[in-house]
Amino acid sequence: MSLLAIETSCDETAAAVIGSDLAVHSSIVASQAETHAAYGGVVPELAARMHLERIAGVTAAALAAVPGGWEVITGVAVTRGPGLAGCLLVGTAYADALAGARGLPVVGVSHMAGHVWAAQLADPGLRPPFVALVVSGGHTDLIHVEALGTVRLLGATRDDAVGEAFDKVARLLGLPYPGGPAIDRTARGGDPARYRLPRPVLPDFGFSFSGLKTAVRYLVDDLRPGDAPLDPAVRADVAASFQAAAVDTLCTQLEAAIEQTGAPRAIIVGGVASNRSLRAEATRRCRGLAQLTIPPPELCTDNAAMVGAAGWEIVRRRGFDQGPLSVDPGLASYT
C-alpha cells in the first residue's frame, strides 16, 4: 500500500512514492531555481510552464524507482494549496487525470501540512501534542498540534516571512537566488557578533522581519564605498550578523511557545529549517525543554515525500476526497 505524491506549488516539480508505514520508496525533486535565478525570484508563468513540461517525467521516474511501479499504488496525494495558482493547477489536474485513468482515489493536501508531516518521515514516532515552527519562503508560523486534525495557530509573521527576508537580504548583499542557502554559506566565514541587528519579539508569538531587512539595507549603504560591491570579508560579517538576528528571534519565540503550551516535543520544518545556524542554535536552546526534531535538509525544502506523509495522515483521519480537486492558492490550513 503506497501513495503516489505530487508537489508543484512553487518552483520544485516533485513526485514520490510513500508506503503506509511512511517508508519513502522514492522521491524525485526537479528544481527550477537555476532558471528563476536569472530573474532574481520565481516567475509564476514560467514556473507553471516548466511544471507542465516536467511533471510526467518526474512522476515516471518516481514510479520506476519502486519495484512493482503502479501495482503498489493505492491512491494519489497532491498539493492543492497554498501556492501559485497556475502551478497548483498543473499538479492537481495531472493527479486527477492519473487517478481517473487508473481508477485510484485522490487526496488534496495542504502544502503546510506537508511541511509539518515531513518531520514524521524523519521521526516515525512523532505524535501530537507538539509545537511546530514552520519557516519557509511564504510562512513563518508557530503552531500547536494538539491532536491529529486539531491545530492551533499560536503566532505568525506580521510582514515578511523569514525565508523572504533571507532572499531579500541576499539580494542586498549581491548574492544569488535562492538567497537562503547563499547566506547560509556566506555566513560561515563571517563574525555573527560584528554588527548588532534588531531582534524583535512581538506579543502573541508574532514575528516581524521587515525592520531587520531595512536595518541591513542601511548597514550595507554605510559600509559600501560609493557604489562598489562590499568587501567579501565585510559581506560575510553582515550575512552572519543578519542570520544570527533572525535565528535568535525564531528560537526565542519557539522556546516561549514550548514553555506556554507545555508541549513535550517540538519540530522545525520548511525550507529555512535547513539553515545550519538555526539547526545548531535551536538544538542547543531546546535541550532540556522539549524533544526537538528537525528533518534532514532535503525534507525541509519543498519535496513530494512530505505531501505523501500528510496525505496518509489525512486519509487515515477522514479518507480520500470525493470528485475532482479544486486548488486554493491562499489555503491556510494545517490539516
What does the binding site for ligand KG4 look like in residue numbers (CB under 6 A)?
Answer: 10, 136-138, 163, 166-167, 178-181, 184, 270-272, 274-275, 301-302
Chosen from Zn ion, ligand KG4, none, partner binding at 32 (C-beta under 5 to 8 Å by type):
none
Interface positions, 240-259, toward Zn ion (CB under 5 A): none
Interface positions, 269-328, toward Zn ion (CB under 5 A): 302
Q: What angle do CA 10, 135, 182 make, to 5 degrees?
A: 75
- Count, residues near Zn ion per rule CB under 5 A: 2
Residue where the block lists cell 528571534 = 249
Q: Is 79 in the site for Zn ion (CB under 5 A)?
A: no
- Beta carbon nearer to ligand KG4, 146 or 171: 171
Angle between helices 232-261 and 162-172 (to 10 degrees): 170
d(C-alpha 55, C-alpha 104), whole Å: 18
Cβ at position 301, least distance to ligand KG4 in Å? 4
Which cell numbers in the block locate residue 134?
Answer: 514552520
Q: Is 136 in the site for Zn ion (CB under 5 A)?
A: yes
Length reported for the chain: 335
- Beta carbon nearer to ligand KG4, 133 or 272: 272
Which cell numbers in the block locate residue 46?
Answer: 514560467
Q: Is 96 in the site for Zn ion (CB under 5 A)?
A: no
Contact status, residue 327 vs residue 85, Cβ threshold 8 Å: yes
Which cell numbers in the block locate residue 255?
Answer: 522556546
Which cell numbers in the block locate residue 330?
Answer: 491562499
Chosen from Zn ion, ligand KG4, none, partner binding at 313 (C-beta under 5 to 8 Å by type):
none
- Beta carbon nearer to ligand KG4, 73 or 273: 273
- Beta carbon nearer to ligand KG4, 131 or 269: 269
Chosen from Zn ion, ligand KG4, none, partner binding at 192 (C-beta under 5 to 8 Å by type):
none
- Beta carbon nearer to ligand KG4, 19 or 176: 176
Task: Give CA separation, 285 vs 128, 266, 282, in Å.
Answer: 21, 12, 5
- DSSP states of 189-208: TS-TTSS-------STT-B-
Cβ at position 71, least distance to ligand KG4 in Å? 32
- Beta carbon nearer to ligand KG4, 8 or 26: 8
Cβ at position 267, least distance to ligand KG4 in Å? 14
Torsions phi, psi for 45 (to 5 deg): -60, -45
Chosen from ligand KG4, Zn ion, none, partner binding at 167 (C-beta under 5 to 8 Å by type):
ligand KG4
Half-sphere exposure of 149 (CA within 13 A, CB side): 8
- Beta carbon nearer to ligand KG4, 47 or 98: 47
Chosen from ligand KG4, Zn ion, none, partner binding at 181 (C-beta under 5 to 8 Å by type):
ligand KG4
Cβ at position 173, least distance to ligand KG4 in Å? 13
Across the chain, how many H-helices and E-strands are there?
11, 10
Angle between helices 179-187 and 232-261 (to 10 degrees): 110
Which cell numbers in the block locate residue 13?
Answer: 516539480
Q: Is 164 in the site for Zn ion (CB under 5 A)?
A: no
- Beta carbon nearer to ligand KG4, 51 or 73: 51
d(C-alpha 42, C-alpha 146), whole Å: 35
Which cell numbers in the block locate residue 147?
Answer: 491532536
Q: Is 13 in the site for Zn ion (CB under 5 A)?
A: no
What are the residues binding Zn ion (CB under 5 A)? Answer: 136, 302
